[in-house]
């Protein structure tokens, strides 16, 4: 029997496996794909604190620094300039590949290209090919599917409007590599937003994400948005559709011997759809807490829930605010006020975003340091 079995081999899952093996647990990781998703289902934008936590400078993954964000709402532009290197874009495929490689290198048994078919509580996971894997603790890192959580009643039903339905193209063109764009609401992404995330001076991820249940021809909308944003020749290299949870986090992320992490726990920000930092943080924490429990350093797994409670409360507030704005007749005015304040505040306090991100994510790194004894993932 394994000490820890991780279901899902992306950011949350590999972070959990790396942290648990490092602390001495015997770990298995099950991932339904042979290699990470290609193309990665992501805009590939991230903050600099998470980037240094992952040790980006040690892995073969190019990064690009963003200096400026231009937000458009109802044809009015709001500019936010970043004085420090707050935001980067990166090629997530290389990160995911590297995380799987590190996971294996550290001694986790990998079951790649294998889908979890069913779970017989408390210990047995059965794969599609019939293999049985037993774990004292199971970490659910299966993304929005939340396959194990669902089986034991931790996954509440999700409303269509709480699922961010996304379409994205990787576009080859000439582009300013340091300027990010976001277009909120109509005419491209009703109640959501479109993005232009440059990866380098010749490539950008251009996508749309909006609440589900709206019956919109997303492919047509994306074509219109790309044509609006790109004024030179361009070529679409690939497209994909995907989903991100825009719901409030699930209330219980621990039950018996199960810990739920990342998108499976709905830890993405429901306003922006960003979930990379929380997937890595919660995965890492789940790996540490599970191993401390196995090694009898802590008495129960509930500690995972307690540590994540402030984050869950913050994300719940974001969700409540977002929902209130949907029912607000002055939806556009409410967001216009927010963007005006952000843009004006940024002029007065150019380090505002740097400090805010540093404070929020710095706390996460401090927590990990306490349980992992290092401030980097590997
Ligand atoms: C279009 C799009 C753009 C985004 N852009 C950004 C961005 O720019 N910045 C940002 O911070 N966030 C972004 N996000 C959100 C971010 O990608 C997610 O929050 C993050 O990937 C969550 O990581 P995770 O490991 O929890 O889940 P996932 O990445 O969903 O990984 C879950 C893994 O579990 C595996 N799995 C699922 N079911 C099973 C099963 N039954 N058996 C075995 N394996 C299984 C899957 O194959 C997958 O590898 C974006 C999301 C989307 C959809």
pLDDT of 71-120, one tens digit each?
999 999 999 999 888 999 999 999 999 999 999 999 999 999 999 999 99
pLDDT score for 320:
95
Residues 279 and 355 in one domain: yes
Structure tokens at 161: 């409007």
Q: What is the DSSP letter of 169?
A: E
Verify that 237 and 115 share a domain, yes or no: no
Last residue of a domain, one of 212, 230, 245: 245
Give the pLDDT of residue 100. Answer: 96
Q: Please report the pLDDT score of residue 79 as a whole number.
A: 96
Q: With bands split at pLDDT 50, 70 and 90, how would you rate the model's confidence at 61?
A: confident
**Residue among 347, 325, 348, 350 nearest 336 (CA):** 325
41 CA from centroid of ligand 1 (Å) = 7
Please report the pLDDT score of residue 328 as a whole number.
Answer: 65
Ligand 1, pocket-test mutation among 275, 286, 287, 360, most atoms within 8 A of CB: 275
pLDDT at 85: 83
Judgement on whether residues 226 and 256 belong to the same structural domain of the protein: no
Distance of CA 100 to the CA centre of its chain: 17
Instruction: Examine the domain organization and report whether 170 and 44 are in the same domain.
Output: no
- Answer whether residue 78 is part of any domain: no
Domain boundary among the residues 198, 225, 245 is at 245
Is the separation of the CB atoms in 30 and 54 below 8 Å? no
Do 214 and 311 fall into the same domain?
Answer: no
Could you tell me the pLDDT band of residue 161, with boundaries at 50, 70 and 90?
Answer: very high
**Which is nearest to 171 in space by CA: 265, 240, 272?**
240
Q: Are 91 and 98 in contact (CB under 8 A)?
A: no
**Rounded Cα gap, residues 109 and 104, in angstroms:** 7
Instruction: Compute the average pLDDT of residues 346-353.
Output: 88
Residue 353 domain-assigned? Answer: yes
What average pLDDT is seen over the chain?
Answer: 95
Strands (E) across the chain are located at 2-7, 27-31, 45-47, 63-66, 68-73, 76-81, 87-90, 109-112, 116-120, 124-127, 132-140, 163-172, 179-185, 189-200, 203-211, 235-245, 254-255, 258-260
- Interval 225-255: pLDDT, tens: 999 999 999 999 999 999 999 999 999 999 9
Please indicate, yes or no, if residue 87 is contained in any of the structural domains. Answer: no
Q: Please indicate, yes or no, if residue 310 is contained in any of the structural domains.
A: yes
* Boundary-marking domain end, from 193, 219, 245: 245
Please indicate, yes or no, if residue 377 is contained in any of the structural domains.
no
Report how many domains make up the chain: 2
Average pLDDT over residues 4-11: 98
Q: Quick check: CB of 9 below 6 Å from ligand 1?
A: yes
> Ligand 1 atom 19: the closest Cα is on which residue?
275
Region 147-155 average pLDDT: 95
Q: Is residue 230 part of a domain?
A: yes
Task: Verify that 287 and 357 share a domain, yes or no.
Answer: yes
Residue 16 Cα to ligand 1 middle (Å): 14
CB 224 within 8 A of CB 187: yes
Give yes or no for a contact between 287 and 139, defined as CB atoms under 8 angstroms apart: yes
Task: State the residue range of the domain holding 131.
Answer: 2-62+92-158+247-372
The SS3 call for residue 327 is coil
Q: Is the CB of 146 under 6 A from ligand 1?
A: no
Give me the pLDDT at residue 199, please. 96
Are 17 and 145 part of one and the same domain?
yes
| pLDDT above 70 (res 39) | yes
- Residue 207 in contact with ligand 1 by CB distance below 6 A: yes
Q: What angle do CA 326, 361, 142 make, to 5 degrees?
A: 70
Backbone φ and ψ for 190, nearest 5 degrees, come out as: -55, 125
């Amino acid at each position: 029997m394994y000490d820890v079995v991780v279901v899902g081999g992306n950011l949350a899952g590999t972070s959990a496996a790396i942290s648990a093996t490092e602390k001495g647990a015997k770990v298995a990781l099950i991932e339904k794909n042979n290699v990470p998703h290609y193309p990665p289902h992501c805009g590939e934008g991230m903050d600099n604190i998470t980037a240094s936590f992952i040790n980006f400078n040690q892995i073969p993954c190019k990064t690009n620094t963003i200096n400026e964000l231009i937000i458009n709402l109802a044809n009015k532009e709001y500019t936010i300039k970043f004085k420090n290197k707050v935001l980067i874009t990166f090629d997530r495929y290389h990160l995911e590949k590297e995380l799987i490689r590190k996971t294996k290198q550290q001694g986790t048994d990998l079951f790649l290209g294998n889908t979890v078919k069913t779970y017989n509580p408390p210990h047995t996971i059965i794969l599609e090919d019939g293999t049985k894997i037993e774990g004292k603790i199971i970490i659910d890192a299966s993304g929005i599917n939340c396959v194990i959580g669902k089986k034991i009643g931790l996954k509440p039903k999700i409303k269509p409007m709480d699922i961010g339905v996304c379409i994205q193209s990787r576009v080859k063109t000439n582009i300013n590599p340091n300027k990010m764009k976001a277009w909120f609401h109509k005419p491209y992404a009703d109640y959501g937003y479109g993005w232009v995330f440059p990866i380098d001076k010749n490539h950008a991820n251009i996508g749309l994400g909006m609440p589900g249940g709206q019956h919109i021809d997303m492919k047509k909308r994306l074509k219109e948005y790309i044509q609006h944003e790109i004024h030179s020749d361009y070529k679409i290299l690939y497209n994909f559709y995907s989903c991100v949870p825009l719901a409030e986090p699930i209330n219980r992320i621990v039950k018996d011997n199960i810990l739920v992490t990342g998108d499976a726990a709905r830890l993405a920000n429901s306003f922006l759809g960003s979930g990379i930092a929380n997937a890595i943080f919660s995965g890492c924490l789940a790996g540490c807490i599970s191993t401390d429990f196995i090694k009898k350093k802590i008495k129960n797994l509930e500690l995972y829930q307690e540590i994540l409670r402030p984050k869950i409360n913050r994300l719940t507030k974001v969700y409540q605010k977002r929902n209130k704005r949907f029912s607000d007749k002055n939806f556009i005015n409410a967001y216009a006020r927010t963007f005006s304040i952000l843009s004006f505040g940024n002029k007065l306090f150019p380090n505002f975003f740097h400090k805010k991100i540093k404070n929020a994510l710095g706390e996460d790194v401090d927590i990990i340091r306490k349980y992992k004894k290092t401030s980097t993932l590997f």
